[in-house]
């Protein structure tokens, strides 16, 4: 999983540099990778950057999402909030991939709980 996340971070960083403006809205910039290790209860992982919304023109979210298809279950978490430069710095931060691994494990556990207990 570490290699997959390293690849996603590097690719997303390039996209953020090229496609995310300093101010205003933009289309979601993301990396989506299929997970070959089906035994972990996950079909794919997304790492994305989104605009925060009205009144926060310069702020962006860096998010990690885990999805298990064909079941309609997914979970996501915010990894960072800040302007474009802060997001780029986060993507270059030593230890980010290890943090993403921990967060991804928690998201997988959240999905598994939802599958086993669909009504809470």
For the chain, the domain total comes to 1
Residue range 43-67, pLDDT digits in tens: 899 999 999 987 788 999 999 999 9
- Residue 120 pLDDT > 50: no
Domain extent for 107:
2-116
**What is the pTM for the complete model shown?**
0.87
- Residue 25 pLDDT > 70: yes
Residue range 70-117, pLDDT digits in tens: 766 789 999 999 999 999 999 999 999 999 999 999 998 888 755 554
Rounded-to-integer distance, Cα 91 and Cα 10, Å: 8
């Amino acid at each position: 999983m570490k290699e997959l996340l390293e690849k996603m971070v590097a690719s997303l960083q390039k996209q953020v540099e090229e496609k995310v403006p300093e101010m205003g809205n933009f289309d979601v910039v993301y990396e989506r990778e299929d997970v070959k290790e089906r035994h972990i209860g996950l079909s794919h992982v997304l790492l994305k950057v989104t605009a925060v919304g009205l009144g926060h023109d310069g702020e962006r979210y860096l998010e990690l999402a885990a999805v298990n298809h064909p079941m309609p279950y997914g979970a996501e978490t915010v990894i960072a909030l800040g302007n474009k430069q802060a997001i780029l710095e986060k993507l270059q931060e030593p230890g980010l991939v290890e943090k993403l691994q921990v967060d991804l494990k928690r998201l997988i556990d959240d999905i598994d709980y939802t599958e086993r207990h669909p009504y809470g």
